[in-house]
Structure 1
């Protein structure tokens, strides 16, 4: 006690400052991953989780956020359910999450998650959360249902369909089209935009049939294929993903139907190339920001190689891996981990991604990024040089469009918090 009392004021102040600095070591910035990790689409959820975790680990290895703060990833199983996702959201809040990364749960589930975050943020000023959505591409999420707290890091349905319609415009052998889609918001939108945009690009195309099926519950697509064959269709516009895409391909191969398929992201899901190779017929054309084996993208090639070395898994989706990096860039720009300041910093943020510069449009929080139309096809040593998933099938680049070329108007009337 006597020693403590004998300390000079300057020395005591220094001691108190040192103690305060020790207590003020930056806490982790917690990010909650909420997507399906069980059920028929678990392989999709695990893929997206691995890409997200890789980016966060790399950000932390490079020093983390300003002040040395590290990102921490919390993971939750949405079970492809709006109710389960909202329960996961509450658990994430209870564990101190400041941002949500999601996308593969289906647009209706993600919409419910955004609405729940809106309610939480309104009732809990100073404790707001952000939602970064990398794969649920409903245009309403950046349109009439836009939210200041939600950011879309993939091209939306309308942008992707515009790319496909532009390609079909130059593909005269597409003449009769059948619309087969999952019976939920995204499937219905994919069909609607397909009919509108392909019809506008190619008025001569005939739409010869349309059907919706339960998502994740069809085990045998042969009855649907029989209807497609009866319609005389040569092509199918389908928004199916995961198991619903691979089982459709299998049924078509078993039935000997040589169809063309136009899809949004099928090739970035494990098992799709294998399913095409086993069917040995049909052409699956899809659109994304990149495809494996794409030429003249050295930054993605380097990232894919590093990812494979660390995870022993194939790299498939730059947009998912870049999502935490965009968040980190906005935190640096904001100089804060306050959600409102981060959101404002992310608006009109230009980010140098591995697929080139991308920009987060301020008016609706839609990321403008390139889209590549490509087809899963046999290796020929020219257009397709590398096989995938242990097969002799890979990806052929058909067309490349910039985000600005595909950008759509928006119905968004953004409501921002008061300054």
Structure 2
């Protein structure tokens, strides 16, 4: 079962290190309470853990990094309230990942703030809100994305599905907002191009974080005769969906964006083995001993799994940019981050200057038992099925970046 989320005092600041004038604050604006907290809390703990490592290695241009947790309950308006609180507290770096509706609001608000307040600019580091528009028609100089966007992920996922001749019928189920709609659109278009013989036998949308029982949806999937299911669901919406499928006895495999989310392996157990697939920037076990050590330490210290490798990449790139610019001013850091290359445990990643969309290798993995490192204290985790090189993941952009003078 998901661990209980303890009461979060929104007025309090949960920090890493000791606050001082020499501290750079990074505010996480994400769900830290409520039904989607199992997506936000692991990110918060991961950031705090990695900030300690960054600080032990000189911080950001000699300044300590301080993580501030702000609960937005996956609500765009509440996110704007928390953004203003952060700015009033001297925060000039913001990160967020859960909910493209939230990301959309933050991009617009930060654009306006920076236009109106020269010298007090804020930089938005997006670790998981993957609506393709944010690095295409809505690209912003003040926004950098550290996760592959929905189209990049679907391009890799549909290549894998298209190579499987046993898949003839596909069912789509997604959350009813911009991200879920983008996932559905990309799946339909890419499968039509790569495997025109595949039939889309269902295309359902459901409210975000509102459905408590997915059995009616699973019944429709079963009746459709689908050979596979594609979903971009995250948080409790993916956990409850795959749980309902397992309890119903649906045998069709699920191809997911977030199938390794907190709670999935504990909810499914043996019923998830060889059935839940995920496209992500890494899989369940690190081959690099240093990363494996950090994976173990994070769980021992915070009882959350090392799910967000991209957060480690984000902080490493933030440090490299600040050190290279010899400054922690967001204007200088943004300039240094454009086009930056960084060697990671899975290979080299590049922050494309053209649209501020990270270019990185991706992995398709499937849930397995008897793994050396088990997720959530179990023996289950996700094992690599395929590696997709950075060049194959990359897609062109329509971004026309407006840069500050």
Mark yes or no: TM-score above 0.5.
Answer: yes
Partner residue of 1:335?
326
Partner residue of 1:411?
398
After superposition, residues 119-268 of structure 1 pair within 5 angstroms as 119-267=112-260
Of 356, 359, 370 in structure 2, the residue corresponding to residue 368 of structure 1 is 359
Of 308, 311, 319 in structure 2, the residue corresponding to residue 320 of structure 1 is 311
Partner residue of 2:77?
83
Task: Note the C-alpha offset of 1:222.
Answer: 1.0
Question: CA–CA distance in 2 between the matches of 1:344 and 1:123?
Answer: 20
Task: Note the C-alpha offset of 1:86.
Answer: 0.4
Of 272, 283, 292 in structure 1, the residue corresponding to residue 275 of structure 2 is 283
Partner residue of 1:101?
95
Conserved 8 A contact 2:305-2:375 = no
Q: What is the alpha-carbon root mean square deviation over aligned residues?
A: 1.8
Task: Note the C-alpha offset of 1:386.
Answer: 5.0
Q: TM-score, normalised by structure 1?
A: 0.88
Task: Note the C-alpha offset of 1:377.
Answer: 2.8
- Summarize deviations over 1:209-261 as a string: whole Å, max 9, x none: 11101111101111111111221112111111111111111211221111211
Q: 1:312 to 1:247 in 2, by over 3 A?
A: closer
Conserved 8 A contact 2:274-2:366 = no
> Do residues 388 (structure 1) and 375 (structure 2) align?
yes
Q: 1:87 to 1:250 in 2, by over 3 A?
A: same
Question: CA–CA distance in 2 between the matches of 1:392 and 1:307?
Answer: 17
After superposition, residues 10-29 of structure 1 pair within 5 angstroms as 27-29=22-24
Q: 1:88 to 1:386 in 2, by over 3 A?
A: closer
Partner residue of 2:347?
356
Partner residue of 1:58?
53
Partner residue of 2:40?
45
Question: CA–CA distance in 2 between the matches of 1:277 and 1:181?
Answer: 23
Partner residue of 1:17?
none
Number of aligned residue pairs: give it: 386
Question: CA–CA distance in 1 between the matches of 2:235 and 2:104?
Answer: 20
Question: CA–CA distance in 2 between the matches of 1:351 and 1:404?
Answer: 15
Task: Note the C-alpha offset of 1:28.
Answer: 1.2
Q: TM-score, normalised by structure 2?
A: 0.91
Question: CA–CA distance in 2 between the matches of 1:204 and 1:217?
Answer: 34
Question: CA–CA distance in 2 between the matches of 1:306 and 1:279?
Answer: 28
Secondary structure, counterpart of 1:74 in structure 2: strand
Q: 1:312 to 1:256 in 2, by over 3 A?
A: closer
Question: CA–CA distance in 1 between the matches of 2:51 and 2:66?
Answer: 8
| Unaligned ranges ≥5, structure 2 | 1-19
Deviates more, 1:25-34 or 1:247-256: 25-34
Task: Note the C-alpha offset of 1:311.
Answer: 3.3
- Summarize deviations over 1:355-379 as a string: whole Å, max 9, x none: 2221100000011111000111334
> Do residues 74 (structure 1) and 68 (structure 2) align?
yes
Conserved 8 A contact 1:289-1:372 = yes
Task: Note the C-alpha offset of 1:398.
Answer: 1.2
Conserved 8 A contact 2:361-2:390 = yes
Conserved 8 A contact 2:277-2:365 = yes
Task: Note the C-alpha offset of 1:281.
Answer: 7.0
Question: CA–CA distance in 1 between the matches of 2:272 and 2:360?
Answer: 32
Task: Note the C-alpha offset of 1:325.
Answer: 2.0
